[in-house]
Structure 1
Amino acid sequence: MIAILYLPHLYVLVCAAVFGTFIWATNGHFRQGTKTIATYLIYLFSVATFVFGAVSAFMNTSTPWQIGLGFLLSALGAALFWWTIHTTRARNFYLAYAKEYPTAFVNAGPYLLVRHPFYVAYLLFWLGMFVAAPWRPTLGCLLILLYLYVVAARGEELTFAQTEFAEEYERYKESVGFMMPNPWR
């Protein structure tokens, strides 16, 4: 019984560690590029989603099943994030919404499943936080992040059309799903 009482606290600690790796990637993995207001909005709503999720978890209104399912989703997001980091470690990817054009095209690892695995990883993580500790402010932030990530991904795809990778990327788009795997392609 005591272990169940501390389950939300343990979940928040694990999520804080994963969120810390997301923050590390901002400077340790991605090239900075020219940041836009949308880049800062992603920072803001990521922090807000974490804070609201943590507060909701500490209110201890979630069932162990909710926390378990939320943990599973967050763990899937973290695993996808690190798989994508591993796949792209030799590349020079820019942060979301950077004004610079892509300097690399990757179609290996998680990029064989979805075209934007970083965004999918983040969304799985945040969805897990919401499932584990549902609260309307967390859901609101999650929906805003979903919008920001989809717009960023669409923008990145438009910039690929203006690079040396344009033809290859168009073929890639025909065979790999946007943010969901597409087994029929």
Structure 2
Amino acid sequence: METALDIAVACVSVIVVGFYTWSLRGHFSSPRMPAGMKVVSAAVTLTTLCFLYLVWSRQQPVAAQLVGLGLEIAAMALFWWAISASRKARLRFAFDPDKPDSLVTIGPYRLVRHPFYTSYIVFWTGWAIATWTSWAALPVLAFVIIYVVAAKGEESKFAATPLAAEYEAYRRRTGFLIPKLARA
């Protein structure tokens, strides 16, 4: 069972990273890759290699692998839901200096303003749990910081666009990376 779970975790993880890589050319549309996005891409590559090593070099509890795999699959589902909802928008790479020219408020965007970043964080958290080592928390923390900084930067750019008022109303009613709890 453990070898089968190692294979499942490794395969699902590589597939999800492959989907994320595809989105750089197949979904997001920036004229060039910003330096910050190059750093993210390098971090993804290094973390992928590190986590693959951890999956195959250590023995993990079955429960950790199952929970991690479940989170990875949930992240993949959220990612594709966000792709579907934002297909017609011209979303840009993280850290792109250009101002946004569209606002997506359907699909997962009804719940969170940054479903792609939420997807990435859930994925890396799942894979870290599946490796079952405390060292895996370090890259997850780094990714959380990177994605929060990217999201905050994207949000600040809306203020200087014709979408500013609409975005502010959207921001008040929608969660940042996790859904807002209903107010009583």
The residue number in structure 1 matching 2:57 is 59
CA–CA distance in structure 2, aligned partners of residues 106 and 33 of structure 1: 20
Question: What letter is aligned with 1:120?
Answer: T
1:92 paired with 2:90, answer yes
> Which structure 2 residue ranges, 5 or more long, are not aligned?
none
The superposition leaves residues 57-85 of structure 1 with CA deviations (integer Å, 9 ceiling, x where unpaired) of 10232111000000111111110000000
The residue number in structure 2 matching 1:30 is 28
CA–CA distance in structure 2, aligned partners of residues 44 and 142 of structure 1: 14
Deviation at 1:136, TM superposition (A): 4.6
Deviation at 1:9, TM superposition (A): 1.9
CA–CA distance in structure 2, aligned partners of residues 144 and 136 of structure 1: 14
Describe the SS at the equivalent of 1:96: coil
The superposition leaves residues 160-185 of structure 1 with CA deviations (integer Å, 9 ceiling, x where unpaired) of 11111100000011101111111235
Deviation at 1:23, TM superposition (A): 0.2
CA–CA distance in structure 2, aligned partners of residues 41 and 145 of structure 1: 11
What's the TM-score, normalizing by structure 2? 0.94
Query: Matched residue pairs, number?
Result: 183
The superposition leaves residues 114-149 of structure 1 with CA deviations (integer Å, 9 ceiling, x where unpaired) of 110000001100100000003355322211111110
The residue number in structure 2 matching 1:102 is 100
CA–CA distance in structure 2, aligned partners of residues 128 and 76 of structure 1: 9
CA–CA distance in structure 2, aligned partners of residues 14 and 177 of structure 1: 28
CA–CA distance in structure 2, aligned partners of residues 93 and 124 of structure 1: 21
CA change 1:132–1:120 in 2 (3 A) is: same
The residue number in structure 2 matching 1:11 is 9
1:157 to 148, 155, 158: 155
Runs in 1 of length 4+ with deviation above 4 angstroms?
none
Question: What letter is aligned with 1:27?
Answer: R
1:48–1:141 Cα contact (<8 Å) kept? no
The superposition leaves residues 23-79 of structure 1 with CA deviations (integer Å, 9 ceiling, x where unpaired) of 000111001234332111111111122111111110232111000000111111110
2:12–2:72 Cα contact (<8 Å) kept? no
Question: What letter is aligned with 2:147?
Answer: Y
> Which structure 1 residue ranges, 5 or more long, are not aligned?
none
1:81–1:118 Cα contact (<8 Å) kept? yes
Once the two structures are aligned, what percentage of the paired residues are identical? 31
Residue correspondence of structure 1 range 64-143 to structure 2 within 5 A? 64-143=62-141
2:72–2:126 Cα contact (<8 Å) kept? yes
1:113–1:181 Cα contact (<8 Å) kept? yes
The residue number in structure 2 matching 1:175 is 173
CA RMSD between the two structures: 1.3
2:81–2:108 Cα contact (<8 Å) kept? yes
1:148 to 146, 149, 163: 146
